[in-house]
Amino acid sequence: MSTYRRLAVGMGMNPNATIPEIADEYVRRTQEKPIPPVMVDATDAPCKENILLGDDANLFHLPGPMVHEGDGGRYLATWHFVVAKDPDTRAINWGMYRIMVFDEKTMVGPVLPFSDMGKMFHGKHVPRNEPMPFAVVLAADPLSSIASCAPSQIPEDQLAGMLHGEPVELVKCETCDLEVPAHAEIIIEGEIHPSVSILEAPFGEYTGYRTSPRDPRTVYRIKAITHRNNPMIMVSNPGIPTDENQLLRSFSLGLEMRKLLESQGIPITGVYMMPESTHHMVVVGVKHAYSGIASQIANLAFGSKLGPWFHMIVVVDDKTDIYNKDEVIHALSTKCHPIRGIRKYENDIGTPLNPYASPEERKMGVGAKVLFDCLFPLDWPTSDLPLKVAFSTNYPKDIQEKVLSNWENYGYKN
């Protein structure tokens, strides 16, 4: 799923759909009424074709890969999701949180404290010293996986239904009060330990580096494995851009940001999170309706649920094509004042995965943010406003047409 073409196919769209077309479709589907899941019997659930309990539930009977030479262990779960329920509200969460195999019965991974499952686990289970039931879904359908790594507020089982346009089918777990996609390949059930943590990482991460330190992380103790006959696992192999981590997360981060900014009535023309930036840099196009609009955009986006995951916002005007890297770089390098156009946010939220952060900052999840405001100030007199010079704007239409139609006759290639 590392190209827009495959994303379009996953969304059931024409493979040649443009990025704005796929984006509009995602925004449309995810703003309709939530579609709750439906329950099916175990007899209708392929993920129950084999049920392994007790000693038979052994993680080394699954082919967890050593994804990159030098990783801290075999990462069984890299394109999957973890199902959990809030112990008080019973709200369902699906989240993609990477998991490494430790021994036959033990897995370990980072559940960052600001993630939805992190808030349940670190905020509720740990203080109460209560284990947290989980189910890892290995290899679900593409849209359920996309839902589980999208920073949306909608419970992901419903979000997946919205993306599909129909309810997802769930089935009860064997050992706990959780439900999992009936058509998944493999399910691993168990409990997250409330007090023991063990060493996890390093791992080749979505930033294109091995960055986050080997540290004590969250421990999953397993009780059951259920799977289809001849099951498959899905693996994401993160590295330098562009792979599915970067492309799909950029896609949903950018579009959740678009919905947030639109919900506040800001006259944006679009939001594009660049996959090549490993979802660290986002370009926002806006009608320069009032002074301070770029700061308003940055404050909202950095202050939202998306904040931990990116740190650069480039705000351009409504004439700039946000999908065109050349135009964005031109705007950034000509219109952003090196001092007044840059706004820094120090001591902000971050993650242990940020290559730019110091080792101490990584441990504490501290980051920094920056806004690049590429809008000319509104109070500059019109006659002093730099005027863009381009073939399309500075020549009469008839001359443009004449030149274009004669281009090859002049001896140039099209």
Partner 1 sequence: MAREYDTFVLEDPASVPEDQELELVVRELTPDDRRYKYRSFYAKALISKSESKYSDILKVRLGRGQLLDTPWSIELIKEVSKF
Ligand X SMILES: Cc1cc2nc3c(=O)[nH]c(=O)nc-3n(C[C@H](O)[C@H](O)[C@H](O)COP(=O)(O)O)c2cc1C
Least spacing, CB of residue 257 vs ligand X, in Å:
13
If one asks whether residue 285 binds partner 1 (CB under 8 A), the answer comes out as no
- Distance CA(34)–CA(30), nearest Å, equals 8
- Note the Cα 323 to chain centre separation in Å: 18
- The nearer residue to ligand X, 4 or 79, going by C-beta atoms, is 79
Contact mark string toward partner 1, 160..199, x via CB under 8 A: ---------------------------------x--x-xx
Q: Read off the tokens for 303.
A: 């202050």
Kindly tell me which of 10 and 118 has the beta carbon lying closer to Mn ion: 118
Structure tokens at 117: 């499952």
CB nearer Mn ion, residue 116 or residue 179: 116
**Are 364 and 357 contacting, i.e. CB atoms less than 8 angstroms apart?**
no
Closest to partner 1 by CB, 69 or 398: 69
Q: Which of 96, 137, 187, 322 forms a contact with ligand X (CB under 6 A)?
A: 96
Residues 157, 159, 161, 163: what is their CA dihedral angle, to the nearest 10 degrees? -140
Residue (of 342, 341, 321) closest to 330 by Cα position: 321
CA distance linking residue 362 with residue 189, whole number of Å: 31
Answer whether 293's CB lies under 8 Å from 374's CB: no
What is the x/- site pattern for partner 1, positions 41-80, by CB under 8 A? Answer: -------------------xx----x-xxxxxxx------
72 contacts which partner out of ligand X, partner 1, Mn ion, none, CB within 5 to 8 A by kind?
A: partner 1
Rg for the chain, CA atoms, rounded: 24
101 lies in the binding site for partner 1 (CB under 8 A): yes
Q: Does 93 bind Mn ion (CB under 5 A)?
A: yes
Which residue number, 92 or 294, has a Cβ lying nearer to ligand X?
A: 92
Backbone angles phi, psi at 239, to 5 degrees: -175, -160
The site string for partner 1 over 193-232 (x = CB under 8 A, - otherwise) reads: x--x-xx--x-------xx-xx----x-x-----------
Complex with ligand X: residue 149 or 176, whichever CB lies closer: 149
Residue 125 lies near partner 1 (rule: CB under 8 A):
no
Return the number of other C-beta atoms located less than 10 Å from residue 138's C-beta. Answer: 26
Q: Which of 287, 339, 343, 291 is nearest to 314 (CA)?
A: 343
Q: Is 116 in the site for Mn ion (CB under 5 A)?
A: yes
Residue 187 token pair: 């399910």
d(C-alpha 304, C-alpha 151), whole Å: 10
Q: Is the dihedral of CA 308, 83, 74, 150 positive or negative?
A: negative
Site residues (vs ligand X, CB under 6 A): 78-79, 93, 95-98, 109-112, 115-117, 149-151, 236, 245, 249
Site residues (vs Mn ion, CB under 5 A): 93, 116
Site residues (vs partner 1, CB under 8 A): 60-61, 66, 68-74, 101-104, 193, 196, 198-199, 202, 210-211, 213-214, 219, 221
